[in-house]
């Protein structure tokens, strides 16, 4: 049974199960690959302290490692990023309190906890079969909702993102009213997290650009706190059936994503045409390349398909930061001959939304064709599905 804070996942599952049973007999609509356990792997590890090393060769080697992982995996993890395990455990506590609010409140309130309206999402509103169900809920929050409108100032003050923060005095959580939760969520470690990952994202984007021979202020000018997002994800245990998605396979529609996942595991990505499971590392942040960087780099850096599988017993939390430009920003390949036509972020988002519209039932071929409209000749670009906000 769903608790008062849980979205009605069981009900959604049942409706989709009945629907699917009538149309597809084989595996009750499950994909074969969902039923096979994915092999676990460790992502390439980058030690960010190397970027601060006095020896230039060490710094350059570290940058090359970042570029190589972005080409070969589209994913890597970083350690010594400056966020302590103490902050992570407090973040988890805060995140838990936000999600424990009644479901009614999360969906009905225009501005839940003072986050912008419409920041709460759950399941997969456009799902037409069980494969498309996402057994998760999320808050998609503009960075300025966390940092306040002066957020950009706080991002400018520190030059080294990997310098550890000085912890402010610990404030015990004794109340559960939304205002109080909101206060603690906005004012405490989430600010530290948001500030650190923002700087880290800019640094990594600059390194990736530099490794392609471009030193530019493109990311600093176009990706500002009011265009970047934090996404808080919660994946409740899913005892209903094996092989249910916590989050549908997708690629991220941003330049790059920084993810913190807890110890439960469940994140998988495609490597060499196979799904592999990412081994959780409590000290690391996970970085992945998004669609925009793939286009900007003319396919050099890879936006790789990933998904989350549910756990039958354990609840899982993750927190993602998306480095996004303003809607008017034009994304143009930096290499000749360009394999993508230039497009604005607005155009791209519209395309992604159209592809995820209700009743969406394109075949894979049609979807791939539609992608060609926005990016000419998409070499090796295979996206099964884009979540509305992904
Ligand atoms: O929760 C995770 O591990 C992945 C989340 C994700 O891919 C996303 O929010 O785009
Ligand atoms: Fe993602």
Distance 122 CA to ligand 2 centre (A): 15
Atom 3 of ligand 1, nearest CA residue: 267
- CA–CA distance, 83 with 166 (Å, rounded to integer): 10
Identify the helix (H) or strand (E) that includes residue 39. strand 39-41
pLDDT at position 381 is: 40
Strands 285-289 and 330-331: unpaired
Range(s) of the domain holding residue 158: 9-342
Nearest atom in ligand 1 to the alpha carbon of residue 266 is 3
Alpha helices in the chain (DSSP H): 9-23, 56-72, 85-99, 103-108, 143-147, 151-157, 178-187, 189-210, 218-222, 291-296, 345-355, 364-374
pLDDT at position 309 is: 95
Residue bearing tokens 């756990």: 311
- Report if residue 382 sits inside a domain: no
CATH number at residue 45: 2.60.120.330
- Report if residue 353 sits inside a domain: no
Identify the helix (H) or strand (E) that includes residue 322. strand 316-323
- Report if residue 376 sits inside a domain: no
Atom 9 of ligand 1, nearest CA residue: 320
* Ligand lying nearest the CA atom of residue 280: 1
Report, as residue numbers or ranges, the catalytic residues: 316
Distance 382 CA to ligand 2 centre (A): 15
The answer to whether residues 75 and 183 touch, using CB atoms and an 8 Å cutoff, is: no
Atom 1 of ligand 1, nearest CA residue: 318
Nearest atom in ligand 1 to the alpha carbon of residue 278 is 3
Distance 332 CA to ligand 1 centre (A): 26
- Report if residue 67 sits inside a domain: yes
- Report if residue 364 sits inside a domain: no
- Domain count across the chain: 1
Q: What does pTM read for this prediction?
A: 0.84
- CA–CA distance, 137 with 7 (Å, rounded to integer): 8
- CA–CA distance, 368 with 352 (Å, rounded to integer): 12
Pair of tokens at residue 274: 């196979």
Contacting residues for 59 by C-beta, under 8 A, at least 6 apart: 50, 51, 52, 53
Give DSSP secondary structure letters for 258-317.
EEEE-TT--EEEEETTEEEEEPP-TT-EEEEE-HHHHHHTTTSS----EEEE--SS--EE
- Report if residue 390 sits inside a domain: no
- CA–CA distance, 51 with 170 (Å, rounded to integer): 31
User: Which residues lie with the beta carbon below 6 Å from any ligand 1 atom?
Assistant: 231, 233, 247, 252, 259, 261, 267, 306, 308, 318, 320, 390
The answer to whether residues 371 and 378 touch, using CB atoms and an 8 Å cutoff, is: yes
Contacting residues for 271 by C-beta, under 8 A, at least 6 apart: 41, 73, 304
Give DSSP secondary structure letters for 203-238.
HHHHHHHHTTT---SHHHHH--TTT-EEEEEEE---
- Report if residue 156 sits inside a domain: yes
Distance 210 CA to ligand 1 centre (A): 27
The answer to whether residues 264 and 304 touch, using CB atoms and an 8 Å cutoff, is: no
Name the residue of 267, 289, 389 to mutate for ligand 1: max ligand atoms within 8 A of Cβ. Answer: 267
The answer to whether residues 303 and 293 touch, using CB atoms and an 8 Å cutoff, is: yes
* Ligand lying nearest the CA atom of residue 286: 1
ipTM for this model: 0.99
- Report if residue 19 sits inside a domain: yes
Strands 39-41 and 274-278: parallel
390 residues of the chain, pLDDT tens digit each:
567 889 888 888 888 888 776 654 444 444 556 656 789 999 999 999 999 999 999 999 999 999 999 999 999 999 999 999 989 998 998 899 989 989 988 888 766 666 777 789 898 777 778 888 899 999 999 998 888 775 654 554 333 334 433 333 323 323 334 444 454 554 567 888 999 999 999 999 999 999 999 988 999 999 999 999 999 999 999 988 788 899 988 899 999 999 999 999 999 999 998 999 999 999 999 999 999 999 999 999 999 999 999 999 999 999 999 999 999 999 998 788 888 888 899 988 887 777 665 444 444 444 444 444 445 433 334 343 444 444
């Amino acid at each position: 049974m769903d608790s008062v804070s849980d979205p009605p996942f069981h009900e959604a599952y049942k409706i989709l199960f009945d629907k699917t049973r009538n149309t597809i007999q084989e595996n009750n609509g499950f994909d074969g690959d969902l039923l096979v356990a994915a092999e676990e792997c460790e992502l390439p590890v980058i030690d960010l302290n190397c970027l601060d090393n006095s020896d230039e060769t060490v710094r350059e080697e570290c940058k090359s490692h970042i570029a190589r992982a972005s080409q070969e995996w589209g994913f890597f993890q970083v350690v010594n990023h400056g966020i302590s395990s103490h902050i992570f455990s407090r973040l988890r506590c805060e995140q838990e309190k936000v999600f424990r609010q009644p479901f009614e409140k999360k969906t009905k309130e225009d501005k839940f906890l003072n986050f912008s309206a419409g920041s709460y999402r759950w399941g997969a509103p456009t799902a037409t079969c069980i494969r498309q169900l996402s057994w998760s809920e999320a808050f998609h929050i503009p960075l300025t909702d966390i940092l306040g409108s002066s957020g950009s100032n706080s991002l400018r003050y520190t030059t080294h993102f990997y310098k550890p923060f000085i912890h402010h005095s610990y404030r015990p959580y004794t109340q559960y009213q939304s205002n109080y939760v909101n206060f603690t969520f906005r004012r405490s470690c989430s600010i530290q997290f948001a500030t650190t990952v923002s700087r880290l994202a800019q640094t990594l984007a600059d390194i990736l650009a530099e490794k392609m021979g471009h030193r530019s202020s493109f990311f600093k000018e176009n990706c500002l706190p009011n265009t970047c997002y934090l996404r808080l994800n919660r994946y409740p245990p899913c005892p209903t059936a094996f092989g249910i998605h916590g989050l549908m396979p997708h690629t991220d529609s941003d330049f790059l994503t920084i993810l913190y996942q807890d110890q439960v595991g469940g994140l998988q990505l495609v490597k060499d045409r196979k799904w592999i499971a990412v081994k959780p590392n409590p000290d690391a942040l996970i970085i992945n390349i998004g669609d925009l960087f793939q286009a900007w780099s003319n396919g050099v850096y890879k936006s790789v398909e990933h998904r989350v599988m549910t756990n039958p017993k354990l609840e899982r939390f993750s927190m993602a930061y998306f480095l996004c430009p303003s809607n008017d920003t034009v994304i143009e390949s930096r290499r000749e001959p360009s394999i993508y036509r230039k497009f604005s972020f607005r155009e791209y988002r519209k395309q992604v939304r159209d592809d995820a519209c209700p009743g969406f039932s394109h075949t894979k071929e049609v979807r791939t064709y539609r992608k060609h409209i926005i990016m000419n000749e998409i070499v090796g670009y295979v996206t099964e599905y884009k979540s509305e906000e992904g």
